[in-house]
Structure 1
Amino acid sequence: MSEEEELIQQLFAEEDELTDKQKKILIAAIESFSEKGYAGTSTNEIAKKAGVAEGTIFRHYKTKKDLLMSIVAPMMAKLIGPFIINDLNKVLDREFDHVEDFIRAMMENRREFLKKHISILKIMLQEIPFQPELREQFFEHVAKKTFDRFVNVIQHYQAKGQMIEMPPESAARLAITTIFGSLMAQYLLFPHAEWDDEVETERIIQFIMHGLGTTKAR
């Protein structure tokens, strides 16, 4: 069973009314959207990949956007949201003596998650900037459930004197965007470049802790 087929099984396990043709369409759409993006994929391409007539797609999904949302909506609610929360909790629920250890664990945790769900995550990350509905779902199922916990972690290490004094919300945003921006570059933007995971992780830790400047800002 392919990765896409496994994802379909997880996402739509409780929806017995899905026909075999619908499942083929969804699998083909996940593969195509992941490879070429939503805008770069035609319903004709999806139909050919699924081995169905293009009209079959429109019998089940009124528009290409309906097809996209039929994938991403359950993905966010059933798979990505819970998986992100549960996986993040494995790190957030632990107490590390040093903030560097926390960052290292977070990088490793998110890297493994990306590797396992790269196809479906590519669709989500590519389309969130352009689809208001997806942004709302991401905020509802992921962002608002995790950001406050990150802020608490920042406050913990600030109290220990391991991070500088700045509004913890700002520090959390900077740390989060650095960690996730690096992983997006590695797995989505430049996947064919040569990457050393361990070296990259240590560089991210150094960047978060010390920045790029050679002197302290005045």
Structure 2
Amino acid sequence: MGEQEGLEELFRTSETDLYGEELTPKQKRIVEAAIQMFSEKGYSSSSTSEIAKRAKVAEGTIFRHYKTKKELLLAIVTPVMSNLLAPFIIRDLDKVLSQNYKCYEDFLTAIVKNRQTFIEKHISIVKILLQEIPFHNELRSQFIERIGKEVYNRLEAIVTHFQDKGELIEMPTQAAIRLTATSIGGFLLTRYILLPDNDWDDEEELKRTIHFIMNGMKAR
């Protein structure tokens, strides 16, 4: 499924605005244009006049629906977080987290491939989240509450399982999750955000990333 289909899924799962009213065709065009602009230029560098031009509406139309540019950002991210990302990530990760893996390497391979599929489908939204969460307390709080806590609890159980089996060195579970997540996150961030046009060999990069994690965490 491509990115355009990902946007259509967003609209199907979030047919109302921040106030519970049904989105109009113009609002959908505004939201889609804002997603494109925020993804390409970042929130701070995108103007409402540029968004209006891309959406083919008057700038005043944006402010009839959204009082500020910040409210437009929240109108995109809040339903995305609540209706699409949170349930999709949890449901989608369940396919990975609920499996019985022979070893931690197999689990890491499955979860990275799972996340690659998700990013490729929702690359613009992922860019906005990565760019804006560090700078907006509202978005950070939403992410932690609706996604972060649930995912962390599931990862904690898996790491503890492999530690109990003697496959991973003894260390605080939080540290093991952080080291795993930063290694995988660094690969995905570089692959899709920082250097997407590089000549990537995904299979080899995945093997290198997992090798790096396991050499530092595997029991000897």
Residue among 35, 42, 52 paired with 2:40? 35
Question: Residue 11 of structure 1: CA displacement?
Answer: 3.9
Q: Which amino acid aligns with 1:142?
A: I
Equivalent residues in 2 for 1:7-156 (5 A)? 7-13=9-15, 17-156=22-161
Where structure 1 has 5 or more consecutive residues not aligned to the other structure, the ranges are none
| Count of residues in correspondence between the two structures | 212
Contact 2:101–2:107 (CA<8 Å) still a contact in 1?
A: yes
Answer with 133-142 or 17-26: which moved more.
17-26
Q: Distance in 1 between matches of 2:174 and 2:4?
A: 40
Q: Distance in 2 between matches of 1:152 and 1:37?
A: 36
Match of 1:175 in 2: 180
Where structure 2 has 5 or more consecutive residues not aligned to the other structure, the ranges are none
Contact 1:185–1:191 (CA<8 Å) still a contact in 2?
A: yes
Q: Distance in 1 between matches of 2:38 and 2:198?
A: 22
Contact 2:96–2:110 (CA<8 Å) still a contact in 1?
A: yes
Per the normalisation by structure 1, the TM-score is 0.92
Per the normalisation by structure 2, the TM-score is 0.91
Task: After superposition, give the CA deviation of every residue in 1:136-191 in whole Å (9 maximum; x if it has no partner).
Answer: 00001110001021111111111111111111111011111211221111101111
Q: Distance in 1 between matches of 2:90 and 2:6?
A: 22
Q: Distance in 2 between matches of 1:208 and 1:126?
A: 26
Residue among 5, 8, 13 paired with 1:6? 8
Contact 2:6–2:122 (CA<8 Å) still a contact in 1?
A: no
Counting aligned pairs with the same residue, the percent is 53
Question: Residue 112 of structure 1: CA displacement?
Answer: 0.7
